[in-house]
A and B are shown apart, each in its own frame.
Chain A
Amino acid sequence: MFDPPYPTVLKPYGQALLALARERKEIVCLGGDLTRQTETDFFRDLIPERFFNAGMAEANMIGIAGGLARAGHIVFVNTFGVFCTRRCYDQIAMSIAYPNLNVKIVGFMPGLSSPGGPSHQAIEDVALMRALPNMTVVEPADAVEIGQMVSAIADHPGPVYLRLKRGETPVIFGDDHALKLGKAQVLLRKLGGEVTVVAAGMMIPAALAAARTLGEAGVAATVVNSPTIKPLDAETILAAARGARIVVTAENHTIVGGLGSAVAEAIAEAGVSALLCRVGIADRFAESGSREFLFARYGLSTQSIINAAWNALGRTASAPRAPAIETPEGAYAPV
């Protein structure tokens, strides 16, 4: 595992999908007028016979994906997260989730990673997809996990929602990192600490940085990476939550219905007594702006995680400050 600022790579999903589709002829790629933005320009240019641009017509695109999957294809549907969840929810429910078809819906620009305002910010996509029977929901944290996730979901015979950051993607994990669909992973071995942070996707760098700062202030913290949000790996998360006084969930998503809710369900049903704090978008729509501005303003920063844990522990002294991380051009660091 690297330390921030993290190096970045471009289009790890697009490269992984192309490589896999060259091996597996049953893979078909659909897009909705966002080919370069969803990294599928490689696929379009090199396997054009299995690439279809459905234009700005997501409902139809989802239905076509269902027909292709019924005929035996593995279909990757690519567009922004807002458009492939909100716009076509009944189509996903009826044409893909209910018949349990082999369609992978890939939604880019999760949460407040889009500068485009509420129309382009998928802040409740996990909640929507998680509510559908048969649907698996995944959110990898870095380029290494993305590459492994593409193969893992292709091997999983059923519908998947894959939530992906767009553009420069950090490399957090080393080559020894092994993602397993349905499994969470303890990233910092400090079990028995007072705080357990459960995070996924773009909140992993902030969770790691917060745990480090808390540790330096005398609060031992564990970080659990949960790239599979549904089905949640309750076993791993419960093991890390038992004995902790505070469980903090961190998600680039509304606190309603996403990772925080999934963890809440798991620990409540298991009778784990830790206090739960959900760090995420506080049930409101956001606005346009840079990632740095929005993550700080809407409570998705390293400091938000530190404050949540610190206050829940009842510490009276002021919370330790997250160090500013100098980030050269092309590198990535949490806000």
Chain B
Amino acid sequence: MATQGAHDLDRLRRLATRIRLHAVRMVAIQGFGYLGQALSSAEIFAVLFGAGMVRFQHDRFVLSPGHYVISLYAVAAETGLLDASALASYGKDGSQLEAIGTERTPLLDLVCGSLGQGLSGAIGFAIASHLAGERRHTWAFLSDGEMEEGQVWEGAMFASHHRERMDPLTVVIDANNSQVDGPVTSVTTIEPLAEKWRSFGWRAVEVDGHDVEALSQALASRASGDAPLVVIARTETRGRLRSIPSDADGHFIKLDSQLERALLSELQAQLV
């Protein structure tokens, strides 16, 4: 894959900022929501959907942690897959844009709200593509907290063992060190992640998940080698934004009007 030029990288950075802007506005309406997930994963979604990685309606895209669907809504509005005016209904009663993805969620091949299940579904897609000779690429977005679920490792083992019976599968992990009870590191030890995935037979690449160039390069390497690829994107739930207090609960950031104003002005300044 061709190396991206400075112009492309700048476009992806601005796309990530606009994902964050949408997320702040969506969460502001209710006063709470999965803002930290959007802030940590903005560059990942910008690169997956803004750089032609996920070929919409050909590739399969699995969103394992359904809480991250806010990022999908935002990037879909930016790339024309979703009417931007629909974003205002995020998390509202009766809305199709539910705060945790469900079977009603548009655009996705599979979204899970119960964590640790997405990789298995993605493997099913990769087998089906292979059986049908369709050569689809299957993408599975995972989060680091759900590495605590044993099913993820059942899937990792299976995918490596059966890789010749599957079409290509790439996993991207938003490693934002956040789960409900606090930092993942305070709850249990899942590290060393890259070594774990390698020992399960995967090719593991670890990058700064807020660096669109590093993410692009890592994901572009998916075609090389016969082992499935996992990209571990190291991120922060504060999305490197100064406005968010350092003691904020990253899993469920509370957004008052003062913080909303500060975030909007900080993000808008990035677009100037």
Task: Please state if B121 and A64 are interface contacts (CB–CB under 8 Å).
Answer: yes
CB distance from A35 to the nearest CB of B (A): 15
CA distance A63 to B142 in the complex (A): 15
Task: Please state if A64 and B114 are interface contacts (CB–CB under 8 Å).
Answer: no
- Interface of B, secondary structure class, is helix
Chain B residues positioned under 8 Å from A66 (CB to CB): 110, 120-121, 124
The reply to whether the CB of B33 lies closer than 8 angstroms to some CB of chain A is no
CB distance from A297 to the nearest CB of B (A): 36
Chain B residues positioned under 8 Å from A28 (CB to CB): 127, 131
CB distance from A148 to the nearest CB of B (A): 28
Question: Which residues of chain A from 34 to 55 have any CB-CB distance to chain B below 8 Å in the complex?
Answer: 49-50, 52, 54-55
Q: Nearest residue in A to B117 (C-beta to C-beta)?
A: A63
CB distance from A92 to the nearest CB of B (A): 11
Binds B, one of A67-75, A166-174, A279-287: A67-75
User: Which of B103, B113, B124, B157 is most buried by chain A, counting CB atoms within 10 A of its CB?
Assistant: B124
Q: Given known contacts A54-B158, A59-B120, A63-B117, is B151 in contact with A73 (CB within 8 Å)?
A: no
Task: Please state if A67 and B124 are interface contacts (CB–CB under 8 Å).
Answer: yes
Question: Which residues of chain B from 87 to 144 have any CB-CB distance to chain A below 8 Å in the complex?
Answer: 103, 109-110, 112-114, 117-129, 131-132
- Interface of A, secondary structure class, is helix
Chain B residues positioned under 8 Å from A72 (CB to CB): 128
Chain A residues positioned under 8 Å from B129 (CB to CB): 71
CB distance from A71 to the nearest CB of B (A): 3
Contact partner, B121, options A50, A63, A98, Cβ 8 Å: A63
Contact partner, B125, options A50, A71, A90, A95, Cβ 8 Å: A71
Q: Nearest residue in A to B124 (C-beta to C-beta)?
A: A67
CB distance from B138 to the nearest CB of A (A): 9
Contact partner, A63, options B109, B132, B151, B165, Cβ 8 Å: B151
The reply to whether the CB of B145 lies closer than 8 angstroms to some CB of chain A is no
Task: Please state if B114 and A60 are interface contacts (CB–CB under 8 Å).
Answer: no
Q: Given known contacts A60-B155, A99-B103, is B124 in contact with A68 (CB within 8 Å)?
A: yes
The reply to whether the CB of B7 lies closer than 8 angstroms to some CB of chain A is no
Q: Given known contacts A49-B131, A64-B158, A66-B120, is B112 in contact with A94 (CB within 8 Å)?
A: yes
Task: Please state if A94 and B123 are interface contacts (CB–CB under 8 Å).
Answer: no
Task: Please state if A52 and B162 are interface contacts (CB–CB under 8 Å).
Answer: yes
Task: Please state if A67 and B158 are interface contacts (CB–CB under 8 Å).
Answer: no
Task: Please state if B120 and A62 are interface contacts (CB–CB under 8 Å).
Answer: yes
CA distance A99 to B62 in the complex (A): 15
The interface size bin for chain A is 20 to 34
Contact with A along B143-162 (1 / 0, CB 8 A): 00000001100110110001
Task: Please state if B162 and A95 are interface contacts (CB–CB under 8 Å).
Answer: no
Task: Please state if B117 and A67 are interface contacts (CB–CB under 8 Å).
Answer: no
CA distance A63 to B112 in the complex (A): 11
CB distance from B148 to the nearest CB of A (A): 14
Task: Please state if B120 and A60 are interface contacts (CB–CB under 8 Å).
Answer: yes
Q: Given known contacts A55-B158, A70-B110, is B151 in contact with A60 (CB within 8 Å)?
A: yes
Contact partner, B120, options A50, A55, A64, A99, Cβ 8 Å: A64
Chain B residues positioned under 8 Å from A50 (CB to CB): 131
The reply to whether the CB of A65 lies closer than 8 angstroms to some CB of chain B is yes
Contact with A along B205-229 (1 / 0, CB 8 A): 0000000000000000000000000
The reply to whether the CB of A225 lies closer than 8 angstroms to some CB of chain B is no
CB distance from A39 to the nearest CB of B (A): 22
The reply to whether the CB of A19 lies closer than 8 angstroms to some CB of chain B is no
CB distance from A211 to the nearest CB of B (A): 45
CB distance from A44 to the nearest CB of B (A): 14
Contact with B along A167-201 (1 / 0, CB 8 A): 00000000000000000000000000000000000
A-B contact pairs, 13 of them (CB 8 A): A52-B165, A54-B154, A55-B158, A57-B157, A57-B158, A60-B123, A60-B158, A63-B118, A67-B123, A67-B124, A70-B110, A70-B124, A94-B117
Interface contacts beyond A67-B123, A73-B131: sample of 6 additional A-B pairs, CB < 8 Å, sorted by A = A60-B151, A63-B119, A65-B124, A67-B110, A71-B124, A95-B120
7 closest cross-chain pairs (CB), A and B? A67-B124, A63-B120, A71-B128, A60-B154, A57-B154, A67-B121, A59-B151
